[in-house]
Amino acid sequence: MKYHSKSSRVAEVVLADLAGGRFRGETFLPSEQRLAEYYSSSRHTIRRIIGNLLEDGVLTRCGNQRLQVNPEKLREVEAEHSAPEQITLAFAYAAYPDAMISSVTTGLKQYVAEHDMKLQLLTSPTGHGPMLRTLEHAAALGIQGIFVLPYFMEEYVDVINKLMDSGVAVATLSELPGVQCSSVCGDDYSGAFVAVSRLIEKYNRPVYFFGPRGETSSSVDRYNAYCRAMTEAGFDEEVAAYTVDFEAYGSNPESWPMESKLERPADMARAFLKQVETPVSLFCMNDYMAQGVYRAAARLKLEIGKDVVLIGFGDLPMAQRLEPPLTTIRSAREQIGYQAAKLLHGLVKGELNTAVHLRLPMELIERASC
């Protein structure tokens, strides 16, 4: 039996239900409208599936145009599908591999190995063009489900929507406005709120937000949490003046190499620290921002943990090796990959028919930087 790729996952569920006798108590199969509601699909999709089942003889149309199951033919089709094709998932990212990507990949690999699936890595460390073109052909590459590192770019919105229309299951690493696919990431809002609240509670002064606040949905969530924590502490009037917002790297491939991730924040931190009175408290959008502050403080002869107190985000491997070790928010990176693979698996099998947004808990790791 051959199905249009858009309806293939629902078709397999319908076949399984017919074989399991789900509609055995009814003389005829339910109407297209009832089936569409039952399987959370459009009537167009159900009509295509019914057409394929009629063509294969699994269903027959009676004189009154109602549908009935042909048990003998159903058993034949079941036999054809008794050994399902191995599922292939993919992780797609336009970026240089770093600790975050490596850990997410480890989680994906673990789930895939546990469930006898295959994993492909679609990477482009030099730009978005090659990645976007690869994503356009994911279905032709035999990929049934794909986990995408998204950027706030219309090109990503367009290609992800096309992927979903082609029948490929898609989830993104944080939400992307303009698409209705699932997403998996850490609970950035809660993590940032805990970090900022901790700094305010410990030092009884307003906290600076340091880093880009709108390059991804994760950075938006972290900044919104910062604003909430400042407001609840009575520092709502200071929020604007205490926001040090700048473009760090984002969608520009020239900023993806590791040294660029560190030097840009260091330059911005040096300019900032030369203008403010110390001691000063900072919440850094991620650990790369925090490491940039360390570099700038060293150049200005300022002491981390005394003149400059700060909390990072991500708990990258270097966080505990900085001097002094960095207080940061730990993200369950491997679990993000594992849960993303689990979610995609459910989508591919047709067990999920709606977008799901998973947010994994964060943890404050207290060290010596604050």
Residue 19 pLDDT: 75
Banded pLDDT at 71 (limits 50, 70, 90): confident
Residue 246 pLDDT: 87
Full residue range of the structural domain in which residue 285 is found:
188-331
**Mean pLDDT, rounded, of the chain:** 90
In a domain, 366, yes or no: no
**Same-domain pairing of 211 and 344:** no
pLDDT beyond 90 at 162: yes
Considering only CA atoms, which of 365, 343, 363 is closest in space to residue 354?
343
CATH of the domain at 58: 1.10.10.10
What are 173-209's pLDDT values in tens digits? Answer: 999 999 999 999 999 999 999 999 999 999 999 999 9
Residue 255 pLDDT: 62
Cis peptide before 324 (omega within 30 of 0): yes
What are 247-289's pLDDT values in tens digits? Answer: 876 666 766 677 777 888 999 999 999 999 999 999 999 999 9
- Per the CB < 8 A criterion, the answer to whether 18 and 67 are in contact is no
**Same-domain pairing of 236 and 254:** yes
Q: Number of folded domains in the chain?
A: 3
Listed range (8-12, 150-154, 172-176, 279-283) with the worst mean pLDDT: 8-12
In a domain, 367, yes or no: no
Residue 126 pLDDT: 85
% pLDDT > 70, the chain = 93
CATH of the domain at 289: 3.40.50.2300
Is 344 or 60 the better-scoring residue by pLDDT? 344
**Same-domain pairing of 31 and 163:** no
Dihedral pair phi/psi, residue 80, rounded to 5°:
-65, -30
Give strand pairing partners of 312. Answer: 328
- Per the CB < 8 A criterion, the answer to whether 329 and 314 are in contact is yes
pLDDT beyond 60 at 5: no
Do the strands 363-365 and 327-330 form a parallel or antiparallel pair, or are they unpaired? antiparallel
